[in-house]
Amino acid sequence: MKPRNRFEKAVAASNMKLSPVSPKAVEWAVRNTVSHIAFRTSGYKCTCGDCGHKSDYKGKGKYTRCPQCRHKLEVTDTLTRKRKESVYFSTIERIDGFHVQRVFRLSAITRKGIK
């Protein structure tokens, strides 16, 4: 889009000053928006979807904690070996008097036994 009036020219000039997405924001999005699951088979063997650690879990609760990475995991009884999930998150920053909201799509692919 070619800027035509004064406002559009100011917006186009401020686009050059956008900072890249901080690693801290991406880390927050991975920790808080993506669901963390534990794959549990019929033999009560649980595999952490985050670190790939395997352990036994015979409890009946929906949640457990990985003994290695200490993440809270949602227990899923399944024989599937991979899961794909997409979520959106946004950041807001102020540049030259404009409030800029940027929306990102985060795709997480979890495979059983792979970190």
> The whole model's pTM is what?
0.73
List Cβ neighbours of 10 (8 Å cut-off, separation of 6 or more). Answer: 96, 98
Cα torsion angle, 4, 6, 7, 13, sign: positive
Q: Which helix (DSSP H) or strand (DSSP E) does residue 45 occupy?
A: strand 45-48
Based on its alpha-carbon atoms, the radius of gyration of the chain, rounded to whole angstroms, reads: 21
Nearest to 78 by CA among 108, 111, 32: 111
pLDDT tens for 7-63 read 999 988 888 888 899 999 999 998 899 888 888 888 888 888 888 888 888 888 889
